[in-house]
Amino acid sequence: MIVPAVAGVMIVVVVLWEAFETVILPRRVRRRFRLAVLVYRTTWIPWRALAHRFRDAKSRETFLSFYGPLSILILFAVWAAAIIFGFALLYHSGAARDSTHPTFETSLYLSGTTMFTLGLGDVIPHTWPERFMVVVESGIGFGFLALVLSYLPVIYQAFSRREVNIVLLDARAGSPPTAAEILRRHAGPRGAEALERLFYNWEHSSADILESHVSYPSVCYFRSQHTNESWIASLTAILDSCSFLLAYVDSTASRQARLTFAMCRHTVVDLAQLFNEAPSAHEEDRLPAPELERLRVLVAKAGFQLRDDEASHKKLVDLRAMYEPYLQALSRFLYMEVPPWILAKEITDNWKTSAWGRISGIAGPDLQGPDDHTD
C-alpha cells in the first residue's frame, strides 16, 4: 500500500509547509496553489453573496464582521483535519501492515486521538512504525496548538493598530472620512502644520497596514467598529487629500503629501495584487465636474489658495488614475465602500453620537470651524 503512504506524507508535508508560510514566514507567498487561499476563496465568495441579500447596512456589516475571526478558525480546522487524514493514511498503509487496526475508520480514530493528545488508550499502536508515527503526530499536535496560540495575538495586534489610526481619523476627516473634510478641518492658523503631521502619521500607518496585511492577509477581512469606517475608506480619503493638494495647492505640506501619496498608493496596489484583483474603473466618476467645482469652492472658502489651470486639472486626473482603479478592485472584492470626495450632505461624526444621544436628541458641539484645525 505504497500509494496511501505517499499520499499521507504529501498531505502532512503540504499542510505543515502551508502553516509555516502563513504564520511564520513574514513575506508574500507567490505560489499559485495554496490551501489557505483555497479555503478563503471557497468561503468568502458565498459569504459575501449571502451578505449582499441583507437590505439593512448595519445588519450586513455585522454579518460580514463575523467572517474575519471565523475564517481563521475554519482555516485551523481544515489544517487539523488534513493532518489527521494524512496520518490516518500512513497508519493504514503498508508501513503499518502488521497493525491490529485494519480498517481505515480505526486508523482515522487513532490519528485524531493522537493529534489532539487525548491518550484514551482504547486504540494503541503495536508496531514500531506505528509507534514512531504516533510520537511524530503527538509532537505535531503540540506544535499546532502553540501555532494557534501564537498566531491569534499577532492578528489582533495588527488589527488593533490599524483601528486606532482609523478612529483617530474620525475627528480629522469625518464619518465616513472624505478629502473635503480633511482639507476643511486643517485650514486656518497652523493648519498646514497639522495637515503635514496628519500625512506623516498616515505615511507610517499605511506602511504598517501594508506590512501586516501582506504577512497576515486574514486581517484584511476584519471590519471596523462603525459601519461608515474602514481601512479602505481611510486610505481613500488620505489619497484623495494628497492628490488634491498636489494638484491645486502650494503648501508647506506638499512634500509630505507626495511621500504619503506614494506610500498609500503602494499599499493599495500591493494588496490588490495580493488578492489577485485586477484594477478596474468605477462605473461612475467619483468626482464629476460639478462635484469638483463644489469641492474647490469649499476648500477655497476654508482659506486655501487654489490654482485653476488645465495643467492642475490634468495632474489631478493623472494622480487619481494611479490609485482609484486599485481601490475599486479592493472595494469590490472585500465589500467595503469607497467614500466620495465630498459628502452630498453633512453627516454627524461618530464621536458626536451615542445611543442615548440619538434617543434624546443630544448631539455634540461642532468643534470644527472654518478657521480651526485638529492637531
Express each pLDDT in 209-223 by its tens digit. 999 998 888 999 999
Same domain, 293 and 257: yes
Q: What pLDDT is attached to residue 30?
A: 65
Q: What pLDDT is attached to residue 150?
A: 82
pLDDT at 48 over 60: yes
Residue 300 in grid coordinates: 477655497
For residue 183, report the phi and psi dihedrals to the nearest 5 degrees: -70, -40
| pLDDT, greater one: 260 or 33 | 260
Same domain, 134 and 241: no
pLDDT at 28 over 80: no
Q: What is the mean pLDDT of residues 82-110?
A: 76
Q: Would you say the C-alpha torsion 76, 150, 335, 265 has a positive or negative sign? A: negative
Lowest mean pLDDT: which of 22-31, 60-69, 229-238, 307-316?
22-31
Same domain, 210 and 138: no
Same domain, 231 and 344: yes
Identify whether 193 is part of a domain: yes
Identify whether 18 is part of a domain: yes
pLDDT at 355 over 70: no
Identify whether 15 is part of a domain: yes
pLDDT at 362 over 50: no
Q: What pLDDT is attached to residue 163?
A: 93
pLDDT at 250 over 80: yes
pLDDT per position as a tens digit, 140-172? 888 888 888 888 888 999 999 999 999 999 889
Residue type, 304: F
Please tell me the distance from the alpha carbon of residue 169 to that of residue 237, in angstroms, as a whole number.
10
Q: What pLDDT is attached to residue 360?
A: 41
Identify whether 78 is part of a domain: yes
Identify whether 268 is part of a domain: yes
Identify whether 159 is part of a domain: no
Identify whether 366 is part of a domain: no
Q: What pLDDT is attached to residue 24?
A: 77
Same domain, 211 and 146: no
Q: How many CA atoms lie within 13 A of 12 on its CB side?
A: 22
Q: First-to-last CA distance in the chain?
A: 71
At 371, is the pLDDT very low, low, confident or very high (cuts 50, 70, 90)?
A: very low
Q: What is the mean pLDDT of residues 265-274?
A: 94
For residue 186, report the phi and psi dihedrals to the nearest 5 degrees: -120, 35
Summary mean pLDDT of the chain: 86
Same domain, 291 and 326: yes
Q: What pLDDT is attached to residue 64?
A: 94
Please state whether the peptide bond connecting residue 340 to the residue before it is cis, i.e. omega within 30 degrees of 0: no
For the chain, what is the domain count?
2
At 20, is the pLDDT very low, low, confident or very high (cuts 50, 70, 90)?
A: confident
Same domain, 35 and 67: yes
Range of the domain at 224: 175-360
Lowest mean pLDDT: which of 161-170, 336-345, 354-363?
354-363
Q: What is the mean pLDDT of residues 337-359?
A: 77
Contacts of 318 (CB under 8 A, 6+ apart): none
CA angle 60, 327, 201 (to 5 degrees): 100
Q: What pLDDT is attached to residue 118?
A: 75
Lowest mean pLDDT: which of 14-23, 70-79, 94-103?
94-103
Same domain, 210 and 352: yes
Q: Name residue 186's beta-bridge partners.
A: 373
Same domain, 336 and 193: yes
At 373, is the pLDDT very low, low, confident or very high (cuts 50, 70, 90)?
A: very low
Alpha helices in the chain (DSSP H): 2-19, 35-51, 57-65, 67-91, 104-115, 128-168, 170-173, 179-184, 191-215, 231-248, 254-274, 289-302, 310-334, 355-360
Same domain, 237 and 330: yes
Lowest mean pLDDT: which of 10-24, 226-240, 292-306?
10-24
Same domain, 335 and 273: yes
Q: What pLDDT is attached to residue 1?
A: 66
Same domain, 119 and 179: no
Q: What pLDDT is attached to residue 374?
A: 43
Closest C-alpha among 291, 317, 293 to residue 306: 293
Cα 268 to Cα 45, 233, 262, 276: the distances in Å are: 21, 11, 10, 12
Please tell me the distance from the alpha carbon of residue 350 to that of residue 359, in angstroms, as a whole number.
15
Identify whether 166 is part of a domain: no
Closest C-alpha among 321, 298, 303, 170 to residue 243: 321
Read off the CATH number of the domain in which 88 is found: 1.10.287.70
